[in-house]
Amino acid sequence: MATKSVIRDVNKHVGETVTIGSWIHNKRSSGKIQFLQLRDGSGYIQGVVVKNEVSEQVWNDAKSLTQESSVYVTGVIREEPRSQSGYEMTVTGIEIIHLTENYPITPKEHGVDFLMDHRHLWLRAPKQRAILVIRSEIIRAIQEFFDQNGFTLVDPPILTPTSAEGTTNLFHTKYFEEDAYLTQSGQLYMEAAAMALGKVYSFGPTFRAEKSKTRRHLIEFWMIEPEMAFTDHEESLQIQERFIEHVVQSVVKNCKTELETVGRDVSKLENIKAPFPRITYDDAIKFLQGEGFDIPWGEDFGAPHETAIAEKYDKPVFITHYPAGIKAFYMKPDPNRPEVVLCADMIAPEGYGEIIGGSQRIDDPQLLEQRFKEHDLSMETYQWYMDLRTYGTVPHSGFGLGLERTVAWICGLDHVRETIPFPRTLYRLYP
């Protein structure tokens, strides 16, 4: 075996003989030459096998290769401007690891259910690989933003005794003799962490037993939840727009090939620069009514409403100051108008829906206690959360970014199921 390389690094080996562990993505032949489309996860390269230049054994081995067979291929790396990667390999040796028979996913069209049943294999498809590379870059850019802005990463628990976002969609489980729930949001714990560390963020899985089967809902999804002490609603919005700009522009810069593979119109992403437009809930209602929607003040928006609002803008838009009655118990009322709260949802452009929900939190202990009563929440289970107001309460704000909706938007995918390696949806727990 020659020096081992991966396809991503072949530019460092031009003119050299290297061995690449790879799978046969595709193959074609023109009599005396066989073209092997090799993939190794890091990229794609064409291996050229010339009958007159290799032993009969190598030629016949190449002939026997089927889609998704695994091989060590050895050959000389050459620059090839006509190929997508810019390089090609002139094959000199082939070591077959495994010959695959009847690979279920062929270049023909398959239905989504079939592909989802074979998700463990579908991940090998170029588009699915590109989505996961972009997801990884999004996560890297998220961490980079918070690292550069003085935040500390804190991990809230997954098993919790109480609800953070309302009691209708909790996943119940037993915790020995006690009842427990899978976390819907780490927020309440992040508020405790903010009182200890100032500016914090979490990145972890969250669970919602939502019976809604939409293009935007997963049962298990990943959320990024920053929480900031001594920070008001306005300051939080400014951080959110800078944050989203950083994430989108990092992907534009670092994932050119992958954005091309998923077919994304990059000019739409290049435009995502702070500041973002804002509209109050009141004005959004007026706008929707003017557009013919039958929606009274006080009702929450559904996907069609969000899309109609988002269509007015070519950047994400903040919808601010929702009625208290349709938002979570912990949101701080607007001092000038207590029937609305200091909150904002960020709606992505092009119909991708709400990607961020955030607010300033109630810091007044009396008001928080009153809210617990109004929402019928037991003071006993939330005692620790009350303590955060009893001992050195401060104005503070935070927000939650849904990772999968962000990936769907940045990749231009019409369904969140392709944004996560193994999606958990209403009717799917396999594979």
Using CA atoms, how far apart are residues 57 and 400, in angstroms rounded to an integer?
Answer: 58
Residue 208 interacting with ligand 4AD (CB under 6 A) = yes
Shortest Å, Cβ 358 to Mg ion: 9
Q: Which helix (H) or strand (E) holds 307?
A: helix 303-310
CB 310 within 8 A of CB 350: yes
Nearer to ligand 4AD, 40 or 354 (CB): 354
Selected range binding ligand 4AD among 69-77, 103-111, 118-126, 214-222, rule: CB under 6 A: 214-222
Using CA atoms, how far apart are residues 418 and 190, in angstroms rounded to an integer?
Answer: 29
Q: Quick count: other Cβ atoms within 10 Å of Cβ 30?
A: 7
Q: Which does 399 bind (CB under 5 to 8 A by kind): ligand 4AD, Mg ion, none?
A: ligand 4AD
CB 431 within 8 A of CB 421: no
Residue 225 interacting with ligand 4AD (CB under 6 A) = yes
Using CA atoms, how far apart are residues 368 and 130, in angstroms rounded to an integer?
Answer: 45
CB 77 within 8 A of CB 14: yes
Residue 93 interacting with Mg ion (CB under 5 A) = no
Shortest Å, Cβ 128 to ligand 4AD: 19
Selected range binding Mg ion among 175-183, 352-360, 364-372, 391-399, rule: CB under 5 A: 352-360
Tokens in use for 72? 């060590």
CB 369 within 8 A of CB 390: no
Residue 316 interacting with ligand 4AD (CB under 6 A) = no
Work out whether strand 199-207 and strand 152-153 pair parallel, antiparallel, or are unpaired.
parallel
Q: Which does 362 bind (CB under 5 to 8 A by kind): Mg ion, ligand 4AD, none?
A: none
DSSP three-state, residue 71 = strand
Using CA atoms, how far apart are residues 99 and 68, in angstroms rounded to an integer?
Answer: 8
Residue 207 interacting with ligand 4AD (CB under 6 A) = no
Nearest to 351 by CA among 404, 300, 313: 313
Selected from 61, 165, 306, 418, the binder of ligand 4AD by CB under 6 A is: 165
Nearer to ligand 4AD, 80 or 350 (CB): 350
Q: Which does 221 bind (CB under 5 to 8 A by kind): ligand 4AD, Mg ion, none?
A: ligand 4AD
Residue nearest to ligand 4AD (CB): 402
For 167-176, letters b (16+ CB in 10 Å) and e give eebbeeeeee
- How long, in residues, is the chain? 431
Residue 357 interacting with Mg ion (CB under 5 A) = yes
Selected range binding Mg ion among 150-158, 193-201, 295-303, 357-365, rule: CB under 5 A: 357-365
- Within positions 354 to 373, which residues make up the interface with ligand 4AD, using CB under 6 A? 354-358
Using CA atoms, how far apart are residues 120 and 142, in angstroms rounded to an integer?
Answer: 27
Nearer to ligand 4AD, 44 or 203 (CB): 203
Those residues with Cβ within 8 angstroms of residue 248's Cβ, 6 or more apart along the chain or in another chain: 269, 272, 410
Selected range binding Mg ion among 125-133, 237-245, 351-359, 409-417, rule: CB under 5 A: 351-359
Binding site for Mg ion (CB under 5 A): 357
Binding site for ligand 4AD (CB under 6 A): 164-165, 185, 187, 208, 210, 217-218, 221, 223, 225, 354-358, 398-400, 402, 404-405, 416
